[in-house]
RNA sequence: GGUCUGGUAGCUCAGCUGGAUAGAGCAACAGAUUUCUAAUCUGUAGGUCAUGGGUUCGAAUCCCAUCCGGAUCACCA
């Protein structure tokens, strides 16, 4: 529609003033709520051409547009703004489209759709998931749904960092202090158990460092020479050399961790189509790097370490293989990328990884490009901001980490309390109630995180952050539940809701609700283009706020006019559907009652 | 120090491809329920859009400088 208006304005300028203009000189925008109209043409930029006053130009333009565009009923002018008012039937047509399409706003995925692979989550197997991972998982899942809704084939993938010195630290501490403790014997969740030993390692390590410093060593040397860190390094060497005992311990502890992760993923409602493990990909990366050396892309030093020189690209030198021949993070990502492109016909690759890795992905992109992968330079790093606590960053060493599982449990508890106070679910079974508490708690958490622009650092205050009133997930879920309640009442009364808008007078409130509704497809598209679930969240919030006003001001079931009543039911039903679809893009479920 | 990134109400955030009087929620205060779920709705109050300059008919938005914060620049991942 905007395009049509823009083209007509260009035509009008030509006809009226005999001058051609560039299309980006014509500004068409949605009319602000406080003014009367649907679309607005900004006439200021055109004054130079018309050589007339703003009012006069707008008037001439307005007349032209009313005559040439059928759906425009009238216009009004405020200062230099030409507000165009559409016929109601324009909105009714759009609403009918929204009604008839169960996947309104979503583009279909066909066999010709592009394949988008999205990597997210990517945990280390030495400690449990925390709040930062939650943001990653929620963003990753949501952007996957959004890409799907924009007509892409999506492959969700997870690369598990299951090898490296950090894993050896947990293993070593467990070996020294564990006394054979297992998740079964202790009743602890596997990832938490392993995480505890990671912390224990760090405590031992610190003690040794302190002791060494007391003997006169510098801190740097002490860190280097502490016996326990050397033991861990030795363990890594044994691991890479396929030492059976080390491998067995490693795979046992990893199994514990995976069981724990799976539980957390299930709670969060995220999943993956394909999981990669770095223990399987890092050797491929090493081979690629060595190929690079052979082809003169990288340089090998006298101590056999391999480096990429990126000074020509404005970056630094980057190590790719250590002098002992082992891989670094970058090497692994090269290997993983190669395997993935062999496994899937990927058109676009999206990495959901925190913004602390911006440099890493800049380098990765360049390296892949240098190695001859044509997709290297257009990989997309979905870079999101950190989650901070009121005290600042989360630090596991200082115990300020917010554990993912604990957080969810706490929120379900709050949801239960709120719900019990309200007492609306009193005659439901415990199982049904629990189901709703979990839905609401997760709705609150997910919405809280996803409504913020992903690029921005966000603040999370465990005491105050998660609310159930106002601009929150539960607020939106509540509205959905309310709509369903009305629809149930209608069904009980034997009313059949029509499948097309009946011929009724549409009030202003209803019209603005319809307008809000019809912006959904645009919101979905923009969220895809800008990689931002926040745009969906904010859209749904606006829609719901609009509906709640309508709901408050206008009666649905008690409306005397049968056709109007049916129209409102139909409208409410369609809003409900859109809330549900919109929230599905955020991975948030909506309850039938709450 | 180099590079990247941010600074909008007491707090958490929208708005940023330049447009009309800078918006929400929370917190504060005042109201609304004989009527479809009050986890709702209405209102009051709260702003030097970090600061200074520039471009423009018009700047929170674009450009430059300064101040303040964060990330990153590892033979950690």
Domains along chain A with CATH numbers:
2-86 (3.30.1360.70), 120-388 (3.40.50.620), 410-584 (1.10.730.10)
A277 contacts A251 by C-beta, under 8 angstroms: no
Whether the predicted pLDDT of A394 surpasses 90? no
Quote the pLDDT of residue A469. 93
pLDDT at A497: 94
Average pLDDT over residues A401-416: 94
Alpha carbons within 13 angstroms on the beta-carbon side of residue A404 total 28
Q: What is the mean pLDDT of chain A?
A: 92
pLDDT band at A319, cuts 50/70/90? very high
Positions of strand B less than 7 angstroms from a protein CB:
2, 4-6, 11-15, 19-21, 24-27, 35-42, 57-58, 69-77
Whether CB of A340 is under 7 Å from strand B: the answer is: no
Residue A455 pLDDT: 93
Q: Is the pLDDT of residue A140 over 80?
A: yes
Mean pLDDT of A13-34: 85
DSSP codes, A535-591 = HHHHHHHHHHHHHHHHHHHS-STT-SSHHHHHHHHHHHHHHHHHHHHHHHTTT----
- What average pLDDT does range A163-188 have in this prediction? 94
10 Å CB burial of residue A465 (0-12, 13-18, 19+) is: middle
Q: How confident is the model at residue A498 (pLDDT cuts 50, 70, 90)?
A: very high
As a whole number, mean pLDDT of residues A66-95 equals: 92
Which pLDDT band, with edges at 50, 70 and 90, does A563 fall under? very high
Coil/strand/helix, residue A425: coil
Q: Per CA to C1' distance, which residue is closest to B40?
A: A548
| pLDDT tens track for A97-122 | 999 999 999 999 999 999 999 999 99
Q: Residue A33: pLDDT band by 50, 70, 90 thresholds?
A: confident
Tell me which residue has tokens 């859109």.
A578
Note the pLDDT tens digit of each residue in A517-559.
999 999 999 999 999 999 999 999 999 999 999 999 999 999 9
SS3 for A206? helix
**Residue at minimal CA–C1' distance from B73?**
A316
Average pLDDT over residues A457-470: 86
pLDDT at position A207:
92
Q: Secondary structure of A479-523 in the HEC alphabet?
A: HHHHHHHHHHHHHHCCCCCCCCCCCCCCCHHHHHHHHHHHCHHHH
Q: Is the pLDDT of residue A271 over 90?
A: yes
Task: For residue A440, say whether its CB is under 7 Å from any atom of strand B.
Answer: yes
Q: Is the CB of A275 under 7 A from strand B?
A: no
The candidate with the shortest Cα–Cα distance to A264, out of A128, A364, A96, is: A128
A124 beta carbon < 7 A from strand B? Answer: yes
What per-residue confidence (pLDDT) applies to A154? 98
Mean pLDDT (whole number) for A124-134: 93
Q: What strands, in cross-sheet order, belong to the sheet with A392-393?
A: A392-393, A387-389, A458-459
Q: What is the pLDDT of residue A219?
A: 83
Sign of the CA dihedral A371, A377, A382, A383? Answer: positive
Asked whether residue A358, judged by its CB, lies under 7 Å from any atom of the DNA or RNA strand B, the reply is: yes
What is the C-alpha separation between A223 and A209, in angstroms, rounded?
A: 6
pLDDT band at A293 (very low <50, low <70, confident <90, very high): very high
> What's the CA A37/C1' B18 distance, rounded, in angstroms?
22
pLDDT category at A473 given cuts 50, 70, 90 is: very high
Question: What length is written for chain A?
Answer: 594
Compare A399 and A448 and report the one with higher pLDDT.
Answer: A448
Q: What percent of chain A has pLDDT over 90?
A: 76
| CA–CA separation, A577 and A554 (whole Å) | 20
Residue A453's contacts (CB-CB under 8 Å, 6 or more residues apart) are A532, A534
In the predicted structure, residue A228 carries a pLDDT above the cut 80 = yes
pLDDT of residue A245: 95
Q: Is the pLDDT of residue A397 over 90?
A: no
More confident residue, A217 or A189: A189
Sheet containing A81-86, strands listed edge to edge, beginning at the edge strand earlier in sequence:
A27-30, A39-42, A81-86, A72-78
The structure tokens 């961790």 sit at A257
The answer to whether A165 CB is within 7 Å of strand B is yes
A240 in contact with nucleic chain B (CB within 7 A): no
Higher pLDDT, A328 or A138: A138
For residue A24, pLDDT over 80 is answered with: no
**Mean pLDDT (whole number) for A338-355:** 95
Per the model's pLDDT, the better-predicted residue between A22 and A161 turns out to be A161
CA angle A431/A434/A435 to nearest 5° reads 85
Q: Give the nucleotide with minimal C1' distance to the Cα of A554.
A: B36
Q: Which nucleotide's C1' is closest to A487 (Cα)?
A: B36
The answer to whether A384 and A361 are in contact (CB under 8 A) is no
Q: Cα separation of A239 and A249, whole Å?
A: 10
The whole-number pLDDT of residue A18 equals 85
For residues A275 and A543, give the distance between their C-alpha atoms in angstroms, rounded to a whole number.
37
Q: Which residue has the tokens 């006809």?
A: A15
CA dist., res. A293 & res. A299, Å (int): 6
Per-residue pLDDT at A356? 93
> What ipTM describes this predicted complex?
0.96
Predicted confidence band of residue A391 (pLDDT cuts 50, 70, 90): confident
pLDDT at res. A133: 95
pLDDT at A205: 92
């Amino acid at each position: 529609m905007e395009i049509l208006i823009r083209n007509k304005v260009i035509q009008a300028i030509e006809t009226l003033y005999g001058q051609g203009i560039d299309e980006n000189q014509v500004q068409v925008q949605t009319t602000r709520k406080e003014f009367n109209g649907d679309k607005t043409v900004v006439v200021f930029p055109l004054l130079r051409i018309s050589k007339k006053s703003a009012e006069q130009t707008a008037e001439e333009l307005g007349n032209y547009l009313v005559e040439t565009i059928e759906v425009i009923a009238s216009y009004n002018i405020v200062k230099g703004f030409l507000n165009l008012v559409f016929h109601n039937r324009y909105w009714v047509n759009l609403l009918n489209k929204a009604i008839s399409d169960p996947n309104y706003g979503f583009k279909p995925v066909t066999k010709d759709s592009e394949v988008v692979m999205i990597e997210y989550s990517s945990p280390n197997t030495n400690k449990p998931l925390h709040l930062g991972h939650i943001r990653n998982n929620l963003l990753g899942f949501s952007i996957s749904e959004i890409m799907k809704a924009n007509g892409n084939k999506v492959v969700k993938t997870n690369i598990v960092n299951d090898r490296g010195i950090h894993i050896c630290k947990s293993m070593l501490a467990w070996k020294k202090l564990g006394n054979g403790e297992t998740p079964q014997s202790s009743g602890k969740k596997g990832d938490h158990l392993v995480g505890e030993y990671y912390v224990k390692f760090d405590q031992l390590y610190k003690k040794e460092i302190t002791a060494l410093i007391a003997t006169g060593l510098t801190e740097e040397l002490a860190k280097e020479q502490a016996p326990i860190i050397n033991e861990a390094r030795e363990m890594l060497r044994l691991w890479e050399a396929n030492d059976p005992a080390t491998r067995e311990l490693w795979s046992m502890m990893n199994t514990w961790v995976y069981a724990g992760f799976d539980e957390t993923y299930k709670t969060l409602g995220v999943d993956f189509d394909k999981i990669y493990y770095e223990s399987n990909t890092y050797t491929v990366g090493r081979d690629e790097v060595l190929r690079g050396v052979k082809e003169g892309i990288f340089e090998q030093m006298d101590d056999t370490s391999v480096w990429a020189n990126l000074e020509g690209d404005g970056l630094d030198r980057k190590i790719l293989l250590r002098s002992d021949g082992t891989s670094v993070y970058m090497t692994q990502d090269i290997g993983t990328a190669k395997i993935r492109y062999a496994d899937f016909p990927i058109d676009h690759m999206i990495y959901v990884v925190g913004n602390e890795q911006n440099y890493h992905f800049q380098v990765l992109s360049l390296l892949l490009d240098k190695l001859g992968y044509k997709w290297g330079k257009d990989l997309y790093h979905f870079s999101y901001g950190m989650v901070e606590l009121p005290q600042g960053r989360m630090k596991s060493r200082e115990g300020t980490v917010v554990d993912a599982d604990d957080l969810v449990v706490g929120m379900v508890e709050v949801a239960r309390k709120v719900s019990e106070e309200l007492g609306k679910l009193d005659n439901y079974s415990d199982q049904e109630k629990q189901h709703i508490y979990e839905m609401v708690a997760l709705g609150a958490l997910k919405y809280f995180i996803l409504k913020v622009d992903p690029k921005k650092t966000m603040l999370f205050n465990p005491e105050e952050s998660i609310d159930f009133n106002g601009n929150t997930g539960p607020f939106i879920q509540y509205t959905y539940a309310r709509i369903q309640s009305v629809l149930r009442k209608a069904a009980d009364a034997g009313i059949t809701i029509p499948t097309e808008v009946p011929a009724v007078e549409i009030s202003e409130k209803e019209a603005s609700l319809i307008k809000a509704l019809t912006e959904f497809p645009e919101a979905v598209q923009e969220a895809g283009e800008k990689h931002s679930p926040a745009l969906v969240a904010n859209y749904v919030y606006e829609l719901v706020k609009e509906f709640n006003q309508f709901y408050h001001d206008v009666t649905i079931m008690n409306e005397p006019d049968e056709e109007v009543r049916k129209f409102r039911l139909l409208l409410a039903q369609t809003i409900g559907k859109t809330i549900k679809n919109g929230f599905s893009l955020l991975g948030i479920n909506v309850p039938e009652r709450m």
